Amino acid sequence: MQEISEIQKSDEAEGFAVLGVAAAAQAIRKGEISSEKYASALLQRAQDHSDLQSFITIDKEAVLESARAADKERARGTSAPLLGVPIAIKDSYLTQGLRTTLGVSTLEKFVPEQDADIVKTMKDAGGIVFGKNNLVEMSFGLTGNNGPYGQVKNPHSKTHVSGGSSSGAGASVSARLVPAAFGGDTIGSIRVPASLCGVVGFKPTTGRWPRDGVAPISHTLDTTGVFARNVEDCILIDEVIVKNEAPSNFDQTNLVGARFAYAPRQYFELIAPDVEAQFKETVRRLRDAGAEVVEVDLGNDFSSLALTATWNIFFRETQEAVTGFLRQNNIPATFEEIYSGLKPGLKEVWGQLVLKNGPGFLPAETYDAALVERLEIKRRFDQAFLSSGAEGLIFPTTPCTAPLIEHQEQFFISGQEVSYLVLANHTIPASAAGIPGISLPIGVSKDGLPIGLEIDGPYGRDRSLLHVARRVEAAVGVLTSPI
């Protein structure tokens, strides 16, 4: 954890920016910094880097008012775990009194009367809503390209994509505009931007974190989660969100005795050379640090099974999920109005695959088969963990680094032209199985673009996954801010 002396070594605003969630909360509790000064510094930094287009809405006065209130609470002796710490929120989360667009122009003036459950829990823990992050319309996309609110840019290179759909969340944490941001992950929408932007992205076991008040895609696959600078901050936030578990008590910091599995036949079918090289170097470092890394095989049909089943579920459940969300939360728009306002490419996809009368809408029997195939994917993960004795399955989070914005629809990996959909090829299986996954930065390519390592854990073993990820992080290090 950073000490306050680090802040004093540099310009105040830059010094505040280096603080993660746990460090900032501790400094505020100790009275070493005020929440108001901290929030002011981050607001200035967000303004200075507004060209990233990582936010749709920031209410500066509301942020400062909340920060001043937190300082008064601290003076009265309050010691809430997130007291006075500003955290960004993906704009698919309802936020009371603060505009929530879901990334679409149809809702550009919508202000909810209530908070999503996670937002309320964060506020109850003393946290401050810093602003609403940009996202792909209705969370449908992997590159960060939003028609009404702009393309989110990668802080490591503004000519490259940020990843998506939680695009602004990943970019804002990477650029140190905020210490953490809440996002959503259905097929990789936290882990993909975490990998491409060089930050930590945690997807809990599906259903472990609340998702009421968050715009859905698929009730089977949707998961709320978080971006942060380091794993320690993810652990703190997980303890805040999941109150019914005993506090974490994992003391080991090195990797002696740790065991990981990797599945080269499933996760290296198509991969960029620099990503593969960095992964192999990371495996070497893990072994040097005392970990055992063993090979497993998830089956010849594993990748195709996971991709087909997951995409089928993804598209089949969207219309029903969105329609129900709009109605239940008194949102002043219909599904049809949102569909009519989508950008052309996305509207075409919805017309084909999401609308119940679309030519590609999945028949009930095929959907039921996909749900059964999902259980088979989970069974194979369970068997792999059981047979190998591994605490985590490791692989490159994305098969390549961030593509150029101008070539985001189609680009090349190892000489093969691919669609942007391949960015989620490695993250999809964990989504299908509902198991927890976390992406950590492990280095950069020759072009200076981040490379991520994903660690997936056994179903429901989130705390164990987080703590072994912290041990991995200690062995491989963290990336510095690019700006």
Assess whether 153 carries a catalytic annotation: no
- Asked if omega into 189 is within 30° of 0 (cis), the reply is no
Distance between CA atoms of residues 478 and 199, nearest Å:
8
**What one-letter code names the amino acid at 434?**
G
Distance between CA atoms of residues 231 and 213, nearest Å:
26
**Cα dihedral angle (395, 398, 400, 403), rounded to 10 degrees?**
-170
Assess whether 165 carries a catalytic annotation: yes
Catalytic residue among 54, 189, 439, 445: 189
Q: Which two tokens stand for residue 362?
A: 């999945």
> Which pairing describes strands 145-146 and 150-151: parallel, antiparallel, or unpaired?
antiparallel
**Residue 164 to residues 12, 67, 324, 461, Cα–Cα distance (Å):** 32, 30, 24, 26
Assess whether 139 carries a catalytic annotation: no
Residue 162's CB: how many other CB atoms inside 10 A? 33
Catalytic residue among 35, 90, 167, 439: 90
Catalytic residue among 35, 66, 165, 388: 165
Q: Tell me which residues are annotated as active site.
A: 90, 165, 189
